[in-house]
A and B are shown apart, each in its own frame.
Chain A
Amino acid sequence: DAGITQSPRHKVTETGTPVTLRCHQTENHRYMYWYRQDPGHGLRLIHYSYGVKDTDKGEVSDGYSVSRSKTEDFLLTLESATSSQTSVYFCAIRATSHEQYFGPGTRLTVT
């Protein structure tokens, strides 16, 4: 158990509204990641962080922003949600030997 929690676990929101998903870790890992998972696409990296206030884009970053003001929390924000952002979102941390450990996921529906 890598001590990763995500909140909320489920959310339904309307198109055009802002949404923030939270990832919290208890083990002081430097690297944290946000992925989305969609049928037929597998896991796709949205953004990741390599330290407090240090973030970088992944392959599907358009429409998403992130913030990391402290080691344990990594926030993913959809500034104006669209139906194409309906997905399951996973947070992950990277252990010292490069493997990643995942949170339980957040199922987001944008109507």
Chain B
Amino acid sequence: AQSVTQPDIHITVSEGASLELRCNYSYGATPYLFWYVQSPGQGLQLLLKYFSGDTLVQGIKGFEAEFKRSQSSFNLRKPSVHWSDAAEYFCAAPMNRDDKIIFGKGTRLHILP
């Protein structure tokens, strides 16, 4: 069965440090892949998306993600985090490119001053 896995439930980093959030997927063909961010009390906002082509995609708020087919991964990165990046992050992929999306369980990011 298709799945999207985020192995880390919580991640804590210091402000100014680099960040990498992990996402693994199981899917037969080349997937579409997404990262969303959810600040407390808010809806989900699309950070970036991968469809095809260049495996390194740039998103909003200074985030990027790299698609690695050999590792079935789509990890989210940011070179220097800001306190405002504290939020929950969700990786997602459509089911067989049909009508529905599978979401990972989310990774909550905490920022130390």
Contact = CB atoms under 8 A, between A and B. Distances in A.
Interface of A: 31, 33, 40-43, 45, 48, 50, 56, 58, 90, 92, 94, 97-105
Contacts of B94: 98
A102 B88 CA distance: 15
Given A42-B104, A43-B90, A98-B94, A90 B99 contact: no
Contacts, number: 47
- Give the 10 A-B CB pairs with smallest separation, nearest first: A102-B43, A42-B105, A102-B44, A43-B103, A104-B43, A98-B32, A99-B49, A98-B94, A105-B43, A42-B106
A103 B43 contact: yes
Interface in B24-70: 32, 34, 36, 42-46, 49, 51
B97 A98 contact: yes
Nearest to A4: B43
A2 to B, nearest CB: 9
B9 to A, nearest CB: 9
Given A42-B104, A43-B90, A94 B99 contact: yes
B111 interface: no
Contacts of A105: 42-43
Nearest to B42: A104
A58 B100 contact: yes
Nearest to A105: B43
B91 to A, nearest CB: 10
Contact of A90 (B44, B92, B105, B106): B44
